[in-house]
Amino acid sequence: MVDAAATEPRLTGTVPLYKNVEPLNRQKHATYGVNTVSQPFNFLKEWHFVPAISAEFAFACGSYPIIFLGDKKMPVLVMGLRQGSNLFVNEEGQFDTEHYIPAYVRRYPFVSAANPNDQPSTVCVDLDADFVVSENAERPFFDANGEPTDYTQQAIDFVSAFENDARTTEAFVERMIALDLLEKKDVKVSNPQDPENPVTVAEYFGVSSEKFDALPADKLKEMQTNGDLGAVVSHIISLQRWERILRRTSSAANAAAPAQA
């Protein structure tokens, strides 16, 4: 959080979910806060995956596939097959309460921004979040003395913990890459027009079962000690959740199709 007033520069770059991010400022945002809204998860409806931290793999693996994407092979939780369609948020902006809410989602509308020269990160807020208001907030960001309210302090603490977990996750991925455990994988579905050639609907990186099974006992012991073993096992278990994603995709498509006469 920063104290300089109206000269704050806007952050650059793209952060999934976030639209209009500013450093949280006790002067500029003195009257800001959040209100209860009827569609609290509207911000998530068009995102079919969100970044994940390794600490939540054990919780998330029962709900979503946990996969690795991009050049850096960072983990994400799959919540849909197509951009613009989250299968766990309904048309009323409500989250499917039977499933785990990712930490990345629970952090919103707050986020941290790195500063140069090893300075502490800055806590920021998405001012375009549906539930962020500029006045008459049910839960204000600051009290009458300009100090963070309990709500804001809890959010700051959560952002800090998430940032630490994100660094831990980066180190976890680096160790997986060093062990050459990640390989290209895909998800295929049958093609009624060409049964012999199924259609690839998803491509990603995942842990190679063969390479994982071939790890020596001392390496497995090391992974058990540093927590990597639990994360890898949770990831492998989570890949069974592709069936849920495919089933929900099919159900959503059928519901959207025009009724037959």
The residue-averaged pLDDT of 72-76 equals: 96
Does the model's pTM come out above 0.85?
A: yes
| Between 118 and 164, the higher pLDDT residue | 164
Binned at pLDDT 50, 70 and 90, residue 260 comes out as very low
CA-CA distance, 143 to 120, in Å (whole number)? 23
Nearest residue to 104 (alpha-carbon basis) of 147, 59, 153: 59
DSSP string, 165-181: HHHHHHHHHHHHHHTT-
- 111-141 pLDDT, tens digit per residue, is 999 877 677 889 999 999 999 999 999 999 9
Nearest residue to 68 (alpha-carbon basis) of 220, 207, 231: 207
Q: Domain ranges for the chain, please list them.
A: 21-249
Q: How far is CA 123 from CA 12, 57, 131, 152, in A?
A: 14, 25, 18, 10
Sheet containing 33-34: order of strands: 132-133, 33-34, 139-140
Q: How far is CA 4 from the centre of its chain?
A: 30
- 35-51 pLDDT, tens digit per residue, is 999 999 999 999 999 99
CA-CA distance, 28 to 25, in Å (whole number)? 5
pLDDT in the model for residue 203: 95
Rounded to the nearest 5 percent, the helix, strand and coil shares of the chain are 35, 20, 45
Nearest residue to 212 (alpha-carbon basis) of 238, 236, 186: 236
The residue-averaged pLDDT of 215-224 equals: 97
> Over 70: is that where the pLDDT of 181 sits?
yes
The values of phi and psi at residue 140, to 5°, are -70, 155
- 3-class secondary-structure state, position 145: coil
Contact 76, 50 (CB under 8 A): yes
CA-CA distance, 241 to 248, in Å (whole number)? 11
